[in-house]
Structures are given as C-alpha cells and as structure tokens.
Chains A and B, each alone.
Chain A
C-alpha cells in the first residue's frame, strides 16, 4: 500500500521567507510525528499529533515553527521567517500503534 508521502521533496527559500511542508500519512494512522534532521545527525523530534490533537510540541525549536493537522490526516509544518539554521531535512512519520513508525522520504529545506 501507499506509504507516507511528503511534499515538496526539495525546497529552497530565501532567508526571511515563510515555508509550508506537507505530510500525507498512511491512511488510518492515528499518530503523526515530525522530525528535523541536520546534516550528519540523527533525526530529532519536533512535534507529535494524535488525530487532530497536538499532544507534544516540546521539540519545536522556536515560535517560528508551527504544525497543524486539522482533520486528523494531512499535516503541515510551517516555518515563518526562515533562518539559515533551519536548513535541514524534515521527516514525517505515522504510526497505527505504539510500536513502529513509518517514515516518509523527507523534505530537504535549504535557506539561502
């Protein structure tokens, strides 16, 4: 079946621009996670949704980062006034249960 999809796959933004990254989870998966992966590092947790409720946003690095999942399916990660340090791969994962998380291919964001 279809896996987790993310769009766009690549995004180049000028410093100060706003960006929106989309995640389509596997159908029926209740849980959705966003991670940020800097070059050469492992993924780091940003935020977590259970259905439409954002239950944990402790990993969001600043108030410029905002995530939503209004209907409990598709999720959008928005970054306002992008900075160079925001350059990274943003990964989305979904889960049906408490065990496996299925990851999308990620969106590579480059801020120039």
Chain B
C-alpha cells in the first residue's frame, strides 16, 4: 500500500471549515483513499473513503485531485468534538488488507 504524508498538527476555529491535506504521490490505480479519526482514548472511527470521485457523507467531504496524488478531508463546520487525530490511509480494497495508519494529523478545534 502507498504511503501518505500529513502535517503533524493543525488548528481550526470552531464553526469554520477544517481542511486536512494528505499527500499520496505513489498511489496505485486500484488503491482507495480512506480517512479515519481517533478521539482521545477511543478506537479509530471511519469517516469516509473514495477512489477517484469526490465523496460526501454526513460527517465530511473528501476531495481527491485529478491525478489522485493528494486529497483533502473537509469538515464543513468544525465543533469542539471534532478535536482528534485524523489518519489518511491508502489501501487496496481487498478482504484481509489491513490499514497502515501512520502518525496522522492532530486537529485541535479552538473555541
């Protein structure tokens, strides 16, 4: 699975959009981009995933560049409860493939 690069930390004002970048320049054509987050003392929580097209769900939006070498997770209206470590993962979707988490981005939402 391709490696990802994320900034170690970011701040965001409460109520504003949080834009979390991820570089995955070696991504292969059959690898998906996944985002998970981990709130302190909890297990990781699935947010969203995509292959080529932009995706949106009730939690977030995922914007993938046309060349698929980078992506951005957007939390449209960040709340204090969104403070967490956010992991960007690329993975071949195939039963049995584990996730390689890396160290993620620690997002702090500031009141």
Contact = CB atoms under 8 A, between A and B. Distances in A.
A62 interface: no
Contact of B101 (A43, A99, A100): A43
Interface string B35-57: 00000011111100100000000
Interface stretch (A14-22, A44-52, A76-84): A44-52
Interface in B68-100: 85, 87, 93-100
Contacts of A93: 43-44
Interface in A37-85: 40-45, 48, 50, 55-56, 59
Given A91-B44, A103-B43, A105-B42, A42 B102 contact: yes
B103 A41 contact: yes
Q: For the complex, would chain B's binding face be called helix, strand, loop or mixed by DSSP majority?
A: loop
Interface residues of A, number: 29
Looking at chain B, what size class is its interface with the partner chain? 20 to 34
Contacts of A31: 95-96
Contact of B99 (A45, A55, A56, A97): A45
B7 to A, nearest CB: 14
A103 B45 contact: yes
A31 B104 CA distance: 24
B96 A48 contact: yes
> Of B42, B43, B99, B102, which is in contact with the most chain A CB atoms at under 10 Å from its CB?
B43
A88 to B, nearest CB: 13
A59 B44 contact: no
Interface of A: 4, 30-31, 33, 35, 40-45, 48, 50, 55-56, 59, 91, 93, 95, 97-106
A91 B101 CA distance: 13
Contacts of B96: 31, 48, 50, 55-56
Nearest to A58: B98
Contacts of A102: 46
A48 to B, nearest CB: 5
B101 A104 contact: no
Contacts of B45: 103
Contacts of A97: 95
